[in-house]
């Protein structure tokens, strides 16, 4: 999307040049048109007398047969600007309807997750924002309502149709929609939500604008008929849809910062300390800042793990290789709506900066990174998220990550390489833990019990990015190489 801004900058510069060239042409055309208008004004007063002169007749036929044809060719061929060539190249990079739809769905996702009312979202009154160009206009609100409507999501359709109507009544002038269309869709959406009284109210409002609208007249009769059946007990209204059905409520609550309240005893187990990994030589002089985020499972954060220069280098290395993030199911990889992001992979054998971070990870955790996967750099844009998931392969799989031959993912190292003005937290729905993105910090946890069995309490999610762009770098460490670094417990259930 950043590249698109520069594409638009080049287009506007070319357009300015085109306007200047076209203005010269228009001035020339304007002089010709004025001359023709003067002739017409004189001739039209007494056409018969005027055309009685053979030179006038000749002049008329010549103008229509030659001069207007010359004008047509002049307009079509006298293009001295390369604007259209530049526009054609630029349009190859333009977003398509799928991209536009994705952003619209992201706004609806943000609305639900962070419980934003349509008026707040329409005006752009979001935390951490300062560079808002303009809010959503009536046409924008109507577009969002149609995205929901076409998916039979009448709950959100009603919210955005109502907002479009409200802004219309406040004096906005739309360009692609009118009040009759908005009221028509709004009344039908209310009917589909079994709100017959609301459907009747807005249908009557439509008829005050267009009294002979046959569709509205038919709908009013239909809605009145069903409302009467409800009142007499012949129909039972179905419960209204109030949001995205089946969506993880705990996940959304955690994304809003509504964490589980720890008992005083559990809270007393959480500390901040300087960590040197039992006197590791590389940490004796410069121990790292370690903070306990959660006790069961243990989740810790380390601060100041990477410099700004290293972050810049990681991003620059990753950007050319970013692709839509996918999930794996058996032998197939594919994109899903539950994971909206881009990612790229950087190996420590390929890049010095990645190798340096891998060695620091080993110093701090004591784990062997030689069997770890490549660093995964991930960028989450507008509404970017990854719904609740686990990082390990479940216990019923005989050989996890057979392609690597290094066993299951024993631990996760999540390095934040950007701040996020609003949203984008990492949350753990099974236990209630929240990790806010703090640039330069890393969050670490074990995915497996010491026995090697998966710890489902580590299920986690990347909350939708409300404002800004979120960058993280993941490193997944595997079992092989850790046999004497993290020993099994005495109990098979540990």
Contacts of 78 by beta carbon, 8 Å cutoff, 6+ apart: 25
* 372: phi then psi, degrees, rounded to nearest 5: -75, 160
Q: Give CA separation, 122 vs 107, 108, 129, 139, in Å.
A: 10, 12, 14, 11
Q: Is 184 helix (H, G, I), strand (E, B) or coil?
A: helix
- How far apart CA 475 and CA 454 sit, in angstroms, is 18
User: Tokens representing 2?
Assistant: 């950043």
- How far apart CA 449 and CA 128 sit, in angstroms, is 39
pLDDT at residue 246 in the model = 47
Closest CA to 299 of 418, 455, 453: 455
User: Tokens representing 296?
Assistant: 């069961």
Please give the DSSP secondary-structure letter assigned to residue 435: E
User: Tokens representing 373?
Assistant: 């996967």
pLDDT at residue 25 in the model = 82
Please, are residues 95 and 4 in contact by the beta-carbon 8 Å criterion? Answer: yes
Closest CA to 446 of 300, 306, 279: 300
- How far apart CA 87 and CA 75 sit, in angstroms, is 19
- How far apart CA 471 and CA 420 sit, in angstroms, is 9
- How far apart CA 261 and CA 226 sit, in angstroms, is 48
Q: Is 168 helix (H, G, I), strand (E, B) or coil?
A: helix
pLDDT at residue 91 in the model = 74
H-helix or E-strand spanning residue 101? helix 97-113
H-helix or E-strand spanning residue 386? strand 385-389
- How far apart CA 433 and CA 423 sit, in angstroms, is 15
All structural domains of the chain: 2-91 (no CATH), 97-231 (1.25.40.10), 262-478 (2.60.120.620)
- How far apart CA 191 and CA 158 sit, in angstroms, is 10
Closest CA to 476 of 401, 423, 424: 401
pLDDT at residue 79 in the model = 59
Please, are residues 383 and 255 in contact by the beta-carbon 8 Å criterion? Answer: no
Q: Is 273 helix (H, G, I), strand (E, B) or coil?
A: strand
pTM (2 decimals)? 0.83
pLDDT tens string for the chain (494 positions)?
778 888 888 888 888 888 888 888 889 889 988 988 888 888 888 877 776 666 666 667 667 766 777 777 777 765 556 766 777 777 787 778 888 888 888 899 999 999 999 998 888 888 876 666 678 899 999 999 999 999 999 999 999 999 999 999 999 999 889 999 999 999 999 999 989 999 999 999 999 999 999 999 999 999 999 898 888 877 766 655 665 544 578 999 999 998 888 889 999 999 999 999 999 999 999 999 999 999 999 999 999 999 999 999 999 999 999 999 998 876 788 888 899 999 999 998 889 999 999 999 999 999 999 999 999 999 998 889 999 999 999 988 889 999 999 999 999 999 999 999 999 999 999 999 999 999 999 999 999 999 899 999 999 999 999 988 999 999 999 999 999 999 887 776 56
């Amino acid at each position: 999307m950043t590249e698109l801004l520069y594409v638009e900058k080049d287009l506007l510069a070319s357009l300015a040049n085109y306007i200047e060239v076209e203005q010269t042409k228009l001035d020339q055309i304007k002089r010709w048109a004025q001359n023709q208008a003067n002739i017409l004004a004189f001739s039209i007063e007494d056409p018969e007398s005027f055309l009685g002169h053979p030179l006038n007749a000749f002049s008329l036929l010549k103008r229509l047969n030659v001069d207007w044809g010359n004008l047509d060719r002049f307009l079509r061929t006298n293009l001295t600007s390369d604007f259209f060539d530049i526009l054609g190249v630029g349009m190859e990079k333009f977003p398509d309807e799928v991209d536009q739809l994705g952003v619209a769905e992201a706004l609806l996702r943000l609305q639900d997750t962070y419980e934003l009312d349509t008026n707040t979202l329409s005006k752009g009154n979001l935390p951490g924002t300062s560079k808002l160009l303009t809010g959503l206009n009536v046409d924008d609100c109507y577009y969002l309502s149609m995205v929901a409507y076409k998916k039979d999501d009448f709950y959100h359709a009603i919210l955005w149709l109502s907002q479009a109507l409200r802004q219309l009544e406040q004096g906005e002038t739309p360009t692609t929609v009118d009040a009759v269309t908005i009221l028509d869709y709004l009344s039908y959406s209310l009917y589909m939500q079994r709100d017959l009284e609301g459907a009747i109210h807005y249908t009557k409002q439509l008829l005050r604008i267009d009294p002979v609208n046959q569709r509205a007249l038919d709908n009013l009769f239909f809605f009145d008929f069903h409302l009467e059946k409800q009142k007499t007990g012949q129909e039972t209204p179905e419960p209204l849809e109030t949001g995205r059905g089946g969506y993880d409520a705990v996940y959304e609550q955690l994304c809003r910062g509504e964490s589980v309240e720890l008992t005083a005893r559990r809270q007393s187990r959480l500390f901040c300390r300087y960590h040197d990994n039992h006197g590791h030589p590389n940490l004796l002089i410069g121990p790292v800042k370690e903070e306990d985020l959660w006790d069961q499972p243990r989740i810790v954060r380390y601060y100041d793990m990477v410099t700004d220069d290293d972050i810049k280098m990681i991003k620059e290395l990753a950007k050319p290789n970013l692709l839509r993030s996918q999930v794996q199911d058996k032998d197939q990889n594919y994109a899903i709506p539950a994971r909206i992001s881009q990612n790229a992979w950087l190996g420590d054998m390929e890049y010095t900066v990645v190798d340096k971070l891998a060695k620091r990870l080993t110093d701090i955790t004591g784990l062997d990174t030689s069997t770890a996967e490549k660093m995964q750099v991930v960028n989450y844009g507008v509404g970017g998220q990854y719904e609740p998931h686990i990082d390990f392969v479940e216990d019923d799989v005989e050989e996890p990550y057979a392609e690597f031959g290094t066993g299951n993912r024993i631990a996760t190292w999540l390095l934040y390489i950007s701040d996020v003005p609003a949203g984008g937290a990492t949350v753990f729905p099974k236990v209630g833990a929240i990790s806010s993105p703090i640039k330069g910090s890393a969050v670490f946890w074990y995915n497996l019990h010491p026995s090697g069995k998966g710890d489902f309490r580590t299920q986690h999610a990347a909350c939708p990015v409300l404002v800004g762009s979120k960058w993280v770098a993941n490193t997944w460490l595997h079992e092989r190489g850790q046999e004497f670094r993290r020993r099994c417990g005495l109990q098979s259930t540990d």
